[in-house]
């Protein structure tokens, strides 16, 4: 999936993350990604492995990968 602009000044991107199994996992991933400059919203869903990120500008995939790694999970690609 390609990041797309929802409203002026925001970009939404969908990522796939492996290893999440519960609400604690969702919180860990969301917390790390939220720390990336420009991120305004993160919603992680363990049951699907999907993480939706809203940011002011398109994010560098490597920054997202590093944040997911820091949380203890693996970014497997764009959703």
pLDDT in tens, 1-60: 345 555 667 999 999 999 999 999 999 999 999 999 999 999 999 999 999 999 999 999
**CATH assignment at residue 47:** 3.30.70.100
Compute the Cα dihedral for 7, 14, 62, 49 and give only its sign: positive
- Number of domains composing the chain: 1
Specify the pLDDT at position 1: 38
Beta-carbon count within 10 A of 29 CB: 28
What's the start-to-end Cα distance of the chain, in Å?
A: 6
Q: Which domain holds residue 18?
A: 4-78
More confident residue, 78 or 4: 78
pTM of the prediction?
0.88
């Amino acid at each position: 999936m390609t990041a797309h602009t929802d409203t002026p000044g925001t970009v939404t991107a969908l990522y796939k993350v492996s290893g999440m199994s519960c609400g604690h996992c969702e919180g860990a991933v969301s917390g790390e990604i939220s720390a990336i400059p420009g991120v305004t919203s993160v919603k992680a869903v363990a049951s699907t492995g999907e993480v939706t990120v809203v940011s002011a500008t398109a994010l560098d995939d490597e920054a997202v990968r590093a944040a997911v790694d820091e949380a203890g999970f693996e970014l497997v690609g764009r959703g």
